[in-house]
Structure 1
């Protein structure tokens, strides 16, 4: 990223964190940074584009650091602990961005930003669940939805007092302390013999509400692909349907989805009852009528 563009983003973040997005004008940003409005529009077409670029920039930075942790040859529990440690260090370092993030998360100004925030939240929840399952084993499965929310609640509470309220705590100690408390909670869940509070269906319904239509389409196409492999059908027909799914996945990645292609191609799966629920969900997401 060019240095001036980066500095302009950092200036805007401070203003958005202090005043909010709606209350901050382009004139406020350029006056604070010391350039003209004309110069601003050399970098961004609008204030909205600037805000979206800010989120993309910081999400990419955080995700790259998370990928570094995921690539380490350590246990899943150690990866989970390192992710907690990383989050607190990153959030403290980029406090202005985090304050702005939570402000705009509740007051999103357009669909593109809302989709970006929801996609990030969905992926974080998805990874959280996978890491907890890998860390604590299959015995935890009935309680995984409750545990995900409990763990998020603990971290968010400590984030509030450290990032938002300025209480000074060491990130390394916090990560160790929180992991020990999660160990205690997991042990209690496994020994308690109580029914889960949150069902898997309820949690899935919640996480699905965070998904964009493209994500819903992709998730259902992926599920169709997996289900297809277990069906008792001729191999030639299976390969034909694999190719249809692959084609639709590519179509889903295009800038503009051609709905009529999905409408026509999904008809190939109509005779297979086991795949019908996926067809229906894709049709709902794209607002098309199944043939």
Structure 2
């Protein structure tokens, strides 16, 4: 995304939050950005398309920041805490805009917006699943659906406080508190109650969604930016070259995948690659 588009998005979100969506004109947005109307319409077809881009910008930034925690030289517990801190910080930053949207209910959610929201939920779920498994081990896998729903309820309550109250919370302390509560929940787990299919129906995970070669290639590029280990980079490059072929060789991909399994940085990618191989079996 260009610097000009980001400038328009940032200024527009501030104006929408302050004055409301309908009450804010394109002229006011261009004045705040110091650009002409023509320059605005070269970037966005309309005020409504700008509104969608604000949501897209917010969701992309959130997912990118969540992805950045794998670059931090911290333990799995601290990494999970950062997962919550980042969500709270980003929601707080756009809380006035979010509150405006809730009050005005501008533009009903269309298929494009719904797809964007579901994609963000799915990616957040995937990151959360990876962090939970990393912290508590594979034994909690059968309880993952219940944990996601329980966590969603807990986090939603705090998000409402962040959005509806002007006073800032201690996000680091809150994240620490939430992970402590999860400790207690995990210790008390017995028999799973919910099934993964329920999350799939609500768009929260993609267990029934096919993984495409294009998606894997994009994921490889993101992972390579976080990885410094030369052996891991070589394995990723071999996988990248192999997937780019029309007739990739599964034994080669499986062999390279085994080289990545012991790295936290590639854990989520390995899951997607495994699903990709399984669905083509």
> Contact conserved, 2:118 with 2:203, CA < 8 A, in 1?
no
Do 1:15 and 1:29's aligned partners in 2 also have CA atoms closer than 8 Å? yes
Are the structure 2 counterparts of residues 54 and 14 from structure 1 closer, same or farther at C-alpha, using a change threshold of 3 Å? same
Q: Are the aligned partners of 1:145 and 1:200 in contact in 2 as well (CA < 8 Å)?
A: yes
- Whether the aligned pair in 2 keeps the contact of 1:84 and 1:175 (CA below 8 Å) is yes
Q: 2: distance between equivalents of 1:106 and 1:154? A: 27
Shift of 1:44: 2.0
Q: Deviations over 1:224-279 (max 9, x none)?
A: xxxxxxxxxxxxxxxxxx96576xxxxxxxxxxxxxxxxxxxxxxxxxxxx9x969
For 1:218, which of 190, 211, 230 is the aligned residue?
211
- Residue 112 of structure 1 and its aligned partner are, at CA, apart by 2.7
- The residue aligned with 1:51 is 51
**1:144 equivalent in structure 2:** 144
When normalised by structure 2's length, the TM-score is: 0.63
Largest Rg, 1 or 2: 1
Structure 2 equivalent of residue 88 of structure 1: 88
What are the residue-to-residue correspondences of 1:143-222 with 2, within 5 Å? 143-189=143-189, 193=190, 195-207=191-203, 216-218=209-211
Contact kept, 8 Å, 1:20 with 1:103, in 2: the verdict is no
Check the 8 A contact 1:108/1:114 in 2, yes or no: no
Gaps in structure 1 of 5+ consecutive residues: 223-241, 247-274, 280-291
Distance change >3 Å, CA 219–CA 36, structure 1 → 2: closer
CA contact (8 A) 1:161 1:167 kept: no
Which one scores higher on RCO, CA 8 angstroms, separation ≥ 6?
2
After TM superposition, list the pairs within 5 Å mapping 1:1-291 onto structure 2: 5-17=5-17, 21=21, 25-26=25-26, 29-30=29-30, 37-99=37-99, 108-189=108-189, 193=190, 195-207=191-203, 216-218=209-211
Greater alpha carbon shift after TM alignment, 53-62 vs 129-138: 53-62
Compute the TM-score of the two structures, normalised by the length of structure 1.
Answer: 0.62
State the aligned residue count.
Answer: 226
Cα 1:2/1:83, change in 2 over 3 Å: same
User: 2:123 and 2:172 mapped to 1: Cα distance?
Assistant: 24
